[in-house]
Structures are given as C-alpha cells and as structure tokens.
Amino acid sequence: MRHSHVPRLRRKVGVVFQDFKLLPTRTVAENVAFALLVTGHSGDEVREETDRVLSLVGLAQRRDHFPDQLSGGEQQRTAMARALVNRPRILIADEPTGNLDPVTSWEIIKLLVRVNELGTTLVMATHNAEIVNALRRRVVHLDHGAVVRDEREGLYAA
Amino acid sequence: MKRLSYVLLAAWQGFWRNPVMSLASTLTVSLMLLLFAFFFATDRGLQAAVGILESKVELGLFLEDDAKVSDILALKARIEADPAVARVDYVTKDQALARLVAIAERRPDLAIEDVGPNPLPASLEIKLARAQEAARVGALLREELGKGVVYDVVDNPSVVDKLLTITRVLSIGGVAVLGIMLFVALFVIVNTIRIAVHARRDEIEIMKLVGASDWFVRWPFILEGMLVGALGAAASLTVLFLASGAVTSSLLAFLDILPVSFGPTFLAELAATVVGIALVVGGGGATWAVRSHLAK
C-alpha cells in the first residue's frame, strides 16, 4: 500500500477513542466540521453534514459549546459525530466507554448500536464484560495479539 | 478556494501564535537579505569598475630615435598578432610633440618653451582586448628591450590587478558570510516552524486521523515559513530603499573617477532576487521542519 493512499482510506474509517481527542479551542460544531474542512469539503456541504451528524448523536442543542463545557458522554458523542461526518464504512471504537460512568456508557453503546443499524460496520474494543454480554454480537477474543476465539453471538468470557 | 483560504488562514494564525519567535526569525532573515543585497550591489559596482578600467588598460613602447621604420612596423605587426591585443597605434616623434603641445594649451599650469630638437621618443601604444593578460603581454614586450628598436616598456595594469583582487576577496568573503547567514536563517526558521508544529500537534494528529492529505497538513506550515521569508524580504527591501540614496552617493564618491552605472534593471533584479531567496529559505526551512514530523 502506497503511503499517499493512507489518507483516502482513513476517510472510510471513523475512529473513536477512550480520551475523545477533541480540540479544546473549538466548539462542538467546529470540532465536527474540522474533519470535513481538512479533507477538502467546503461551504454548505460542511454545514449540512455537520448538522446531520450532530442531530444523529443528539447534540444539536450543544453545537456552540466548547468541549470542557460538556459532560464526558457529550464529549464522546461529539467525537462520534466527528468520526461519522465523513460517512465512513467502518467505525472503530477503541474503548469508547473507558472514561465514562456505567449510565453514560450505556448511552454511548445505544448510539453505537444505532449507527450500526444505519449501515456502518462497527468494531469496538472493550474490557466491559457487561456490555459484551448484553449485546450478544460477534465477539473476537484477543490474547497477546493473537485471536483465540471468534464467536457469532459471543459472551465476554468463554 | 475554500481550501486555499483555510490554509492561508492557518498559516497567518500560526505566525501570530508565537509572535516573538516569528518576529525573531523574520529579523534574522531580513539581516541575511540585507547582507546579501550589500554584497550583491558591491560586487556589481566593482565588476562595472573593472570592466571600465580593463577597457583602459594600455601598454606603451618607447622607441629608439634611430630605429628603422621597417623594423618598427614589423614589431607592430607582431604585437598585433597577439590575441590579447586589440589595437596598436604608431605615434611618431612629431605626433608625440603635437600631442604634448595640445595638452599644454589646455593646461594653464604647463607651458612649452621652445624645446629645440624634439626630445620626445616615438612610441607604439597598445590597447588590450583582455586586460587580465596585461602582465603576460608586458613580459613579452620586455624581451624586445636591447634589440635596437625598443628602449623602454611602460605598463601600468596595477589598478586593474588591485581591483580584481578586491573583487575576488569580496566575492569569496561575501559567499562565506552569506553561507553562514543562510545557515543561521535556516536554523531559526526550522526552529520557529518546529515550535509551530509542536503547538498544533493535537490538531495535526486529528487531521491525519480523519484522513487529511499530507499536503493539507504541511501547507499551512510551509506558507508560514514563506510568510516569515516574505516579511523579512519586505523589511530588508524597505531598509534598502530608504538607505539607497545615501549608499549610492557614497559609492559614487568612492568610485568617483569612474562612470559606474548599475544599469536600469539593477534595483528590480536585486528586489526579485531578495524576494526569491526569502521565499526559498522560508519555504525550504519549513518543509524541512515539517518533514521530520510527518514521517512519524
């Protein structure tokens, strides 16, 4: 794979992290629009797409707030909006609930499930047994970098 | 269009995010450019002076009174055959005296009394096409001494020699000083941009994460470097134009005797070169600074 192809591929893959990685000097809407602007989109398209994902994650009312004015769950939803705004085929969530309390975690999981139902493949890495057991989705168990288990409707521990 | 305005805005913001560092590198660049302009102008002036002096380099042969005209003409033909020689004029005793009288008439401090038999020697005046070869031609001519035709050789190329030496020293010294300044300017720019990159490392991380192309990440910094260069060029050109009057008159006073002209396009050439160097140094330094960061 050529190095110059990497950016285009990255646009097809959205990523959400445990620590959100939002830009503190930009508002919610600006954080989301940033992903469009730096991939060469402009004008009306940016505003429309930003509005679309912000209502999808339920943050339309919070669009002009800065990240440190938001709760942890709202910050993670902003990060999700940013990951989704380029309409990726896959969304990778790396411990998306790692920094959140159980109630907020469930909000995020419900949102991820909804995104999945809307047609985006979701890959989530997590240590949260409760979530894995409740979802009963495909579970790939990694141990020291090797796949040790892959079940269609798996549980956290075998 | 939007892309361009984004990149330009980011470059402008980057410049003012750390104004002290940005202005310090701008100052360094403008100092380098001022030095460059100084050497550029001096070199041009000296070259013009050398050119003018070279065209004036002349060698003279004083001829024995009893030399045969046929021998003199044969010698003249031999000298003319030399490729470094442009022209040889034969001045007879009578012409020499007539010239002296003509000079004396224009100069009130000189008076020619009746000098009896003409004391002036006949001579061959040699104009050189290539002044650098004055020494060689002079040595050749000296071989004619004592053969019954030539009794003295007059060569005075020392002014040109000195000017050529000064030009050489100045160009070597200038190149060395400019090299050091270029290095310092590059070093400062690279560091300025590194700091700018560091200040925006989170932004860069997210840009790469969401799939911005490398050029989209790079351009704001390269433009910021070019902005530093352009502002440096503007500062140094402002100083140059403000000082050019004084510098020109002092240069002309120094090279008083010579009608040295830099030519009509000189200032435009100088300005274009200064701006060109500034942009290349600024953009190049920034590219260098960003390159190492993006490789990660």
A37-46, B146-155, B245-254: which is most confident: A37-46
Domain count, chain A: 1
The two structure tokens encoding residue B169: 């020293």
pLDDT of residue B84: 81
- Of B205, B206, B211, which has the smallest distance from its Cβ to A11's Cβ? B211
Domain presence at residue A133: no
CATH number for B79: 3.30.70.3040
Closest chain A residue by Cα to residue B213: A7
Cβ distance A21 to B206 less than 8 Å, yes or no, reads yes
Domain presence at residue A22: yes
Q: Does B38 share its domain with B117? A: no
Average confidence (pLDDT) over B220-226: 90
- Answer whether B151's CB lies under 8 Å from B106's CB: no
Average confidence (pLDDT) over B262-276: 82
Residues of A122-139 as b/e, b for ≥16 C-beta within 10 angstroms?
bebebebeebbeebeeeb
Those of residues 189-248 in B touching chain A at CB distance below 8 A are 202-203, 205-214, 216-217
Q: Is the pLDDT of residue B257 over 70?
A: no
Question: What range defines the domain where residue A116 resides?
Answer: 3-127
Closest chain B residue by Cα to residue A20: B206
Q: By percentage, how much of chain A surpasses pLDDT 70? A: 99
pLDDT confidence tier of residue B78, bands split at 50, 70 and 90 = confident
Tell me which residue of A94, A101, A61, A68 sits closest to A80, measured CA to CA: A94
Contact status of A7 with chain B (Cβ, < 8 Å) = yes
pLDDT of residue B1: 55
pLDDT confidence tier of residue B160, bands split at 50, 70 and 90 = low
Q: How many CA atoms lie within 13 A of B219 on its CB side?
A: 15
Domain presence at residue A44: yes
Q: Is the pTM of this model over 0.90?
A: no
pLDDT of residue B255: 58
Q: Is the pLDDT of residue B12 over 60?
A: yes
Residues of B in contact with A15 (CB under 8 A): 209
Cβ distance A7 to B208 less than 8 Å, yes or no, reads yes
Closest chain A residue by Cα to residue B201: A23
- Answer whether B145's CB lies under 8 Å from B61's CB: no
- Answer whether B248's CB lies under 8 Å from B33's CB: no
Q: Is the pLDDT of residue B158 over 80?
A: no
Domain boundary among B104, B134, B156: B156
Cβ distance B207 to A38 less than 8 Å, yes or no, reads yes
Q: Does B15 share its domain with B86? A: no
Position with higher pLDDT, B113 vs B221: B221
Pairing state of beta strands A13-16 and A146-151?
A: unpaired
Q: By percentage, how much of chain B surpasses pLDDT 90? A: 8
Domain presence at residue A148: no
Instruction: State how far residue B180 is from chain A, nearest Cα, in angstroms.
Output: 36
pLDDT of residue A81: 93
Domain presence at residue A118: yes
Q: Does B174 share its domain with B272? A: yes
Q: Does B97 share its domain with B230? A: no
Tell me which residue of A81, A61, A130 sits closest to A101, measured CA to CA: A130
ipTM of predicted assembly, 2 dp? 0.83
Q: Does B27 share its domain with B62? A: no
Residues of B in contact with A23 (CB under 8 A): 202-203, 206
Rounded alpha-carbon distances, angstroms, from residue B114 to B91, B109, B111: 21, 16, 10
Residues of A in contact with B9 (CB under 8 A): none
Domain boundary among B129, B156, B183: B156
Cβ distance A7 to B212 less than 8 Å, yes or no, reads yes
Domain count, chain B: 2
Cβ distance A7 to B6 less than 8 Å, yes or no, reads no
Closest chain A residue by Cα to residue B10: A38
Q: List per-residue pLDDT tens for chain A, 158 residues long.
A: 777 788 888 889 999 998 989 999 899 999 999 999 888 888 888 999 999 999 999 999 999 999 999 999 999 999 999 999 999 999 999 999 888 888 889 989 999 999 999 999 999 999 888 889 988 899 999 999 899 999 888 888 75
Q: Does B112 share its domain with B231? A: no
Average confidence (pLDDT) over B219-228: 90
pLDDT of residue B140: 81
Q: Does B166 share its domain with B141? A: no
CATH number for A48: 3.40.50.300
CA B97 to chain centre: 42
Residues of B in contact with A35 (CB under 8 A): 206, 210
pLDDT of residue B191: 86
- The Cα A20–Cα B205 span in angstroms is 12
Q: Does B289 share its domain with B171? A: yes
Q: Does B279 share its domain with B258? A: yes
Domain presence at residue A33: yes
- Cα radius of gyration (chain B): 31
Q: Is the pLDDT of residue B254 over 70?
A: no
pLDDT of residue B7: 78
Interface test with A, best of B210, B213, B291, B294 (most A CBs within 10 A): B210
Where do we find the tokens 């005793």? B93
Average confidence (pLDDT) over B3-24: 82
Q: Does B44 share its domain with B171? A: yes
Q: Does B257 share its domain with B165? A: yes
pLDDT of residue B279: 93
Average confidence (pLDDT) over B228-241: 90
The two structure tokens encoding residue B56: 């004036």
Residues of A in contact with B1 (CB under 8 A): 42
Domain presence at residue A21: yes
pLDDT confidence tier of residue B246, bands split at 50, 70 and 90 = confident
Question: What range defines the domain where residue B68 resides?
Answer: 58-156
pLDDT of residue B136: 81
Pairing state of beta strands A146-151 and B85-91?
A: unpaired
pLDDT of residue B243: 81
Domain boundary among B106, B138, B156: B156
The two structure tokens encoding residue B30: 């403008």
Instruction: State how far residue B214 is from chain A, nearest Cα, in angstroms.
Output: 8
User: Which ranges in chain B belong to alpha helices (H)?
Assistant: 2-17, 19-55, 69-80, 93-106, 134-142, 158-199, 201-209, 214-254, 266-294
pLDDT confidence tier of residue B217, bands split at 50, 70 and 90 = confident
β-bridge partners, A13: A90
Position with higher pLDDT, B232 vs B21: B232
- The Cα B91–Cα B162 span in angstroms is 29
Those of residues 14-73 in A touching chain B at CB distance below 8 A are 15, 21, 23, 34-35, 37-40, 42-43
Q: Does B174 share its domain with B38? A: yes
